[in-house]
Structure 1
């Protein structure tokens, strides 16, 4: 039997007459009457007291109404139950480099929470090399790192997320100067050369034949940017577009010929894949990256 006669019965009781019920569910009054007749024939009972002007349920009608409401409630709840079945439940331990923590990871986590409210994502900050070791040891399920540069733990696999570009940053008053002049004359605030991004910077400086006057070595790009903005020197950092758009007042120039970039990846151990958990996080990060880039380019 179709569910439509049951919906018709409920509509009659809700709206008071056959005509109003028909208007509510898109049937003519005669079609409503046929639906009621079909129910009465199906169950061999009278559903309404027809001696009255307005339709009044018989005892059999009240019993069927109660059952119809239960059946329809169960049926209408199926889509929600299927959505819940598809929702991920569990815990994902993720490490992330600092630039990913500023963007796009927060936006990705918000999207992930809305889609999978029972999935718990525990986030730890660190540098790429350290996070890779923690994935290798099983301390983390996955990590958002730069693409491995040089030696890295064996048996790790990665999936591309997005790219950062490298920039020379200098105090605002240096915006009219050449990059070579800035790097040669200003104190240089170096990003830790033990970090993968630090190695890329050091390699490109050597390739370009640029000598810098190193005064500080830091492992936090956020701190480096603040130092530069206060006029303490120049630096080279890798930044996503979203962070670049939110920098304080600093002069910025592409670094490298051509401008070098780094790939940001999702790192996992090949023998302990986190499957859907990491996949949905990776997809959320990619979507957040595209969304942020679109917003920036349309400002």
Structure 2
């Protein structure tokens, strides 16, 4: 089993180009081309159609997606399982969006380790796009995020309701002059730009999660942030809500792979929801 080639294949399928795959897996474009070529030779089938715009999966490539994902997931699980001490009987890979790794999730992790001493945890933080991809590819078992991709093989339950609000560290009347786009999901970004008639002039897109609030404060700028995230800054006056600006529903979710032990998932979901409800 050539896991490196499988990962290369999955990266090319996800990015739509061999160059994009090279960046994702930190390899040279020539290495990606050679790995795909060797994989196609071993399988006896062409996996991609390539042109100047990038690459597209062939019918054979689409059929190979499932086995490749399962193989990579099996290898990741095997690596993790053999490395954990003998007193742990299960392992869970947990991800959380940057904006959610505050007191709630860190507190949950400490509590979960005490309540579930037989489970070994691997935790990570990331943007929603990466968390969705890692859930789909099997690198994560469960994740908390604002912008999930709803899929039949991924279970989803709402954690809490939130909304994106326009806040500013400058004078609210001049917010357009200091507006910066903050990445909270492609579809919502398009809706905000359309309904607010915003054309960002800062030449900057932030994908820093809750750290984006610090940028707004330090640089005296404005942008959309989850209300729950910026509430402390609103209370101390570092940020102010722009009057009469639209707000956008932005609930947070807990998502999990349906092929993970359902009892463990049920316990984890219950404990994570309790932390955010406290």
- 1:268, 1:276 → 2: CA distance? 12
Q: How far 1:218 sits from its partner (Å)?
A: 1.9
SS of alignment partner, residue 240 of structure 1: helix
Give per-residue Cα distances to partners, 1:67-87, cap 9 Å, x unaligned: xxxxxxxxxxxxxxxxxxxxx
After superposition, residues 273-284 of structure 1 pair within 5 angstroms as 273-284=260-271
SS of alignment partner, residue 92 of structure 2: strand
Q: Which residue is 2:66 aligned to?
A: none
Q: Which residue is 1:163 aligned to?
A: 161
Give per-residue Cα distances to partners, 1:213-257, cap 9 Å, x unaligned: 23321210233212111134212122536x522677522327987
Query: Given that residues 142 and 267 in structure 1 are in contact (C-alpha distance below 8 angstroms), is that contact kept between their aligned partners in structure 2?
Result: yes
Q: Which runs of 5+ in 2 are unaligned?
A: 1-87
After superposition, residues 232-247 of structure 1 pair within 5 angstroms as 232-240=220-228, 244-245=231-232
Q: Which runs of 5+ in 1 are unaligned?
A: 1-87, 292-299
SS of alignment partner, residue 215 of structure 1: coil
Q: Which residue is 1:26 aligned to?
A: none
Query: Given that residues 89 and 118 in structure 1 are in contact (C-alpha distance below 8 angstroms), is that contact kept between their aligned partners in structure 2?
Result: yes
CA gap 1:147/1:287 in 2 versus in 1, 3 angstroms: same
More displaced stretch, 153-162 vs 120-129 = 153-162
Give the structure-2-normalised TM-score.
0.59
Which of 156, 165, 177 is equivalent to 1:185?
Answer: 177
Q: Which residue is 2:124 aligned to?
A: 124
Q: How far 1:130 sits from its partner (Å)?
A: 1.3
Q: Which residue is 2:105 aligned to?
A: 105
Q: How far 1:206 sits from its partner (Å)?
A: 0.8
CA gap 1:257/1:234 in 2 versus in 1, 3 angstroms: closer
CA gap 1:135/1:285 in 2 versus in 1, 3 angstroms: same
Query: Given that residues 162 and 265 in structure 1 are in contact (C-alpha distance below 8 angstroms), is that contact kept between their aligned partners in structure 2?
Result: yes
Aligned residues: 190
Q: Which residue is 2:218 aligned to?
A: 230
CA gap 1:125/1:220 in 2 versus in 1, 3 angstroms: same
- 1:163, 1:112 → 2: CA distance? 23
SS of alignment partner, residue 160 of structure 2: strand
Query: Given that residues 167 and 253 in structure 1 are in contact (C-alpha distance below 8 angstroms), is that contact kept between their aligned partners in structure 2?
Result: yes
- 1:285, 1:108 → 2: CA distance? 6
Q: How far 1:97 sits from its partner (Å)?
A: 0.2
After superposition, residues 18-167 of structure 1 pair within 5 angstroms as 89-148=89-148, 155-167=153-165
Give per-residue Cα distances to partners, 1:18-77, cap 9 Å, x unaligned: xxxxxxxxxxxxxxxxxxxxxxxxxxxxxxxxxxxxxxxxxxxxxxxxxxxxxxxxxxxx
Give the structure-1-normalised TM-score.
0.55
Larger Rg: 1
CA gap 1:232/1:246 in 2 versus in 1, 3 angstroms: closer
- 2:243, 2:89 → 1: CA distance? 43
- 1:146, 1:101 → 2: CA distance? 12
Q: How far 1:98 sits from its partner (Å)?
A: 0.6
